[in-house]
Structure 1
Amino acid sequence: DEVLIRSIPEAMKTTDIVCSSINIGSTRAGINMDAVRLAGETIKRTAEITPEGFGCAKIVVFCNAVEDNPFMAGAFHGSGEADAVINVGVSGPGVVKAALENSDATTLTEVAEVVKKTAFKITRVGELIGREASKMLNIPFGILDLSLAPTPAIGDSVARILEEMGLSVCGTHGTTAALALLNDAVKKGGMMASSAVGGLSGAFIPVSEDEGMIAAAEAGVLTLDKLEAMTAVCSVGLDMIAVPGDTPAHTISGIIADEAAIGMINSKTTAVRIIPVTGKTVGDSVEFGGLLGYAPVMPVKEGSCEVFVNRGGRIPAPVQSMKN
């Protein structure tokens, strides 16, 4: 595993379509802090040898990774999967926002109902398309991932959905609660429309890929701390976040460890896709292009976690028997 992880930077530099996933912990096994330290060093090295850290956009560090995730860069062909399988990812944040705009919902109960019904419709279409493709290609249909995955296009934003619920800007107080409502309603609606729900299934919050998140981060309202809190109630975790190029590897490892702890303790999938941009600092921005979008460089915390990270060993898995 160490040899594979150390090979990642060069692979990201010399290939176009290869992505990388590292799973450093789980609810059952705890968090491998030696792997966390190595992951931080790997991300830092990748940032140094790829233009504007672009290779880091293709690296995801997971806790509780799932095998049937159809979304890049976190998708991988797990050992429990068939040799070939069709897993479908359903996006559609723009559709959900439009549905709320055109509804007469006033209470949050009514908002949740609109989101649930919209998620049902989107999921049903994805299910039918996936099964039809399965027949045409003679490849087994796997799962349908209900995740709302934003794009940099105007209107196709998870942040704008949260603002449609009544927030003046994504990241202000109430954002975590609004995201929890959205995530739950999407799951409830999708589960009614498909008998094969899997993957991550929820709402993604990738900063550079969501024009509403970008605007909130540029305004200084959406911070790394707030994003971390939001990851406790939605899919995946800290995603497509640009940080200063001089951010130390141990700080990156500390960010990964914090996010993994949320996943481990809450028995959910969490992940980090973070990009130290060489030569850039807070107030600068970086353009990745295409679906990867544009990101303001966000500040990280003062202080150091170097001694903590370098202790190595394992953060033990939480006790499960007390929940029985």
Structure 2
Amino acid sequence: MKRIETSYGVLEGATDLVYYKNGNLRSCKLEKYNAITTSIGFLVPQYGDMDTRTKLREAISFYDTGELKSIYLKEPVIVNTTVGTLKGEFITFYKQGTIHRLFPLYGQVSGYWSEEEEYQLAEKATFKIGELQVSNKMNSYCFYPSGHLKSLNLWSKEVVIVQLHKKNIAIRLGIAFYENGNIKSLEPYVPTKIKTPIGDIMAYSNEPIGIHGDTNSLILDEDGRIKGITTVSTAIRMNNDQGEEQVIAPHLVRSQLDIERWVISPITISFLENQVIIVDEHTTYRFNKDDFKWSTTQIGFEEIGHECGNCQGCKNCS
């Protein structure tokens, strides 16, 4: 164990020290009580004996220039944010000292501590951002350097109802925001029909990025117009003036984790001024919107050619 001097005070009982090439401390664990002064007040990092839900990771980490980067707390604390007071057990920071990400709980899911047990510990957070009222159990929050909420990540059992274009949409996993509070992107709970500049498309991803909620299947511009959409069940058809037709649709591929299973490879469509950009598994297609007559067709797994085989977390069949 060592006694380490930092910009935030002395760390007593430091172990498992990791340093940057410039000699500055990168991270460490702690065996003794320490209270450090931060931009959000006094914080006590993890120390001493671990219990069954404690993650085996550093208690505190720093940027290579010495600023606090993350802290895993001995006990959750209440933090003042732009959307109200929130609880945090693990917090990451920008170099300037403002909160980057905040995790209300940060337990280690394992054979000794289940996700359900962690979920039961979670508490509902109630706040309003823009026109959206939220009252749910949150997995994590992300903030802009300014302090405004950038995104929130929901527990898998949680659903938020969002009104979009006068239609209520059930949202799972993640919602991202612009700095003014307007919604930037959403992750639909089930395949949801959305009107787009080229027709109705079912917004949904079978493999959403549910870690932080920053990137989702349905993307909006700052005025609420559809900017991008991911689908696993809509085919896009284009016809030009010469009578030529092209169809781009989701299709099945072998799972990278299990070659005996098939998974749907979605397509993503983006709308940029007069351009339509479609991305499938291997190719990016760029079209001038006015050069084609567009139509969309909703398809099911049987039309793709095989059962999905990837039911976990997917609502497409139900």
Where relative contact order (Cα < 8 A, 6+ residues apart) is larger, the structure is 1
In proportion to residue count, which structure has more helix? 1
Tell whether the structures are fold-level matches, with TM greater than 0.5. no
TM-score, scaled to structure 1: 0.25
Larger Rg: 2
In proportion to residue count, which structure has more strand? 2
TM-score, scaled to structure 2: 0.26
